Amino acid sequence: MEQKLQAIALEAKNAIGSAQNSDELGQIRVKVLGRKGDLTAILRELGKLSKELRPVMGQKVNEIREELTALLDAKEADMAKHELAARLEAEALDVTLPGESVKRGRLHPLSIVQGEIRDIFIGMGFDVKEGPEIEYERYNFEMLNIPENHPARDMQDTFYIRDGILMRTHTSPVQVRTMLSESLPIRMICPGRVYRSDDVDATHSPMFHQVEGLVVDKGICFGDLKGVLDEFIKKFYGSGTKTRFRPGYFPFTEPSAEVDATCAICHGKGCNVCKGTGWIEILGCGMVHPSILEGCGIDPEVYSGFAFGLGLDRLTTIKYGITDIRLLFEGDTRFLGQF
Ligand code: PHE
């Protein structure tokens, strides 16, 4: 019986040692310590022993039972720990991993510059208007003193949608729209896209952007025009910037002027951006032609005004030193991400 007991103990210890998981351990526990287990069977056989041997063997069986129980408990605890660790590893949500970053959009350089221009003019009391990109020929040309066959139409090769309707070639038709629909006085700017049938190159695009400006009130004179534009350019390019008004021609303003600012790159010394002149042409402007006012139902004997139109793309490329206008319209985020 003693041998049998030792054999059971040895077998159980080996089984415990090589058990792979807690299920196997549970089976061993039942097989050895259970009610129908090996040790219980031995205890039953104790009755066959002599009175002297019975307690001795009984104690041995108990000792082995305790030893095996302790072994099983320890192994089970150990296994539970490992199984938990393995599960945690397998199901882990590693909160220390960097998250998937969401790519944030940002403002297009044209929008940034447009915003700056808008803020400067809002600061001077201007409203911001909008007008349609598909426009009546009447508003785009006729009501701006550009009748059919007028040579000024040649400078604005036009995309026609159909007879009398076109892609606006400038933002000036918004002058007409505003004078027709708004009450006086008027102080507005209007940024927007314009279209001309130009071939694409580093400085031309069939679609580009302008910002129109219009002021109509009693007693507006050329001094107001100069003051407002000089102030705008100094705010935009810096207070050290000088402006220069040259005579110009637009059918809808009289007198008309082209305005230059000292080159933002070389500050007047001359560089390749200003083609060595030290000046950069910024915008066209003039006093609103009396016949335009009249055409919009405004009495030119009582009211006068000035208007201007600036090229947003040009201001933007100069401001950021962008050498090719096409970059603005290609939508390449490697380029656009730099602003
Ligand atoms: N619309 C003119 C252009 O596109 C610019 C301009 C606007 C000139 C307003 C004078 C007054 O060339």
Judge whether residue 307 has pLDDT over 70. yes
Measured from the CA of 213, which atom of ligand 1 is nearest?
9
Between the alpha carbon of residue 34 and those of residues 2, 30, 38, 135, 201, the distances in Å are 20, 4, 8, 96, 92
Radius of gyration (C-alpha) of the chain in whole angstroms: 45
Q: How far apart are CA 117 and CA 111, in angstroms?
A: 10
Could you tell me which of 282, 56, 313 has the C-alpha nearest to residue 204? 313
- pLDDT for 155 equals 65
pLDDT tier for residue 292 given thresholds of 50, 70 and 90: very high
Cβ of 131 less than 6 Å from ligand 1: no
Q: How far apart are CA 155 and CA 169, in angstroms?
A: 10
Pairing of strands 127-128, 186-195: parallel
User: 286 CB under 6 A from ligand 1?
Assistant: yes
**Which single residue is written with the structure tokens 């910002």?**
211
**What does the pLDDT average to over 117-128?**
97
Mean pLDDT computed over 207-216: 97
With contact defined as beta carbons under 8 Å apart, do 65 and 5 qualify? Answer: no
pLDDT bracket for residue 127 (50, 70, 90): very high
Residue 35: is its pLDDT beyond 90? no
Task: Tell me which of 155, 158, 166, 170 to substitute to probe ligand 1's pocket, judged by most ligand atoms within 8 Å of the beta carbon.
Answer: 170
Question: Residue 307: CB within 6 Å of ligand 1?
Answer: yes
pLDDT, residue 287, reads: 98
DSSP code string of 49-65: S-TTHHHHHHHHHHHHH
Tell whether ligand 1 has an atom less than 6 A from the beta carbon of residue 285. yes
Q: Kindly report the number of other CB atoms within 10 A of residue 55's CB atom.
A: 11
Ligand 1 contact via 308 beta carbon (within 6 Å): yes
| pLDDT, averaged across the chain | 90
Q: What element of type H or E holds 98?
A: none
Residue 140 CB–ligand 1 contact under 6 Å: no
Q: Which of 144, 208, 210, 292 to mutate to test the pocket of ligand 1 (most atoms within 8 A of CB)?
A: 210
Mutate to test the pocket of ligand 1, among 135, 140, 172, 287 (most ligand atoms within 8 A of CB): 172
Mean pLDDT value of segment 163-172: 94
175 confidence band (pLDDT: 50, 70, 90): very high
Q: What is the number of alpha carbons within 13 Å of residue 72 lying toward its C-beta?
A: 22
**Closest approach atom of ligand 1 to CA 175:** 9
Scanning the chain, the segments in alpha helix (DSSP H) are 2-18, 22-33, 38-45, 53-91, 109-123, 137-140, 173-181, 222-237, 290-295, 312-320, 333-336
End-to-end CA distance of the chain: 91
Rounded to the nearest angstrom, the distance between the alpha carbon of 326 and the centre of ligand 1 is 23
Cβ contact 16:71 at 8 Å: yes
Mean pLDDT of 85-93: 84
Task: DSSP letter for 172, please.
Answer: T
Is the CB–ligand 1 distance for residue 172 below 6 Å? yes
Is the CB of residue 162 less than 8 Å from the CB of residue 155? no
Task: Report the separation in Å between the CA atom of 145 and the middle of ligand 1, taken as the mean of its atom positions.
Answer: 12
Task: Among 250, 256, 287, say which to mutate for ligand 1: greatest number of ligand atoms within 8 Å of CB.
Answer: 250
- 141 ligand 1 Cβ < 6 A: no
Question: 308 CA to middle of ligand 1, Å?
Answer: 6
Q: With a cut of 80, say whether residue 153 has pLDDT above it.
A: no
Query: Amino acid identity of 118?
Result: R
User: Between vectors from CA 117 to CA 111 and to CA 122, what angle results, nearest 5°?
Assistant: 120
Cis before 255 (ω within 30):
yes
**The model's pTM:** 0.70
> How much is the average pLDDT of 172-189?
97
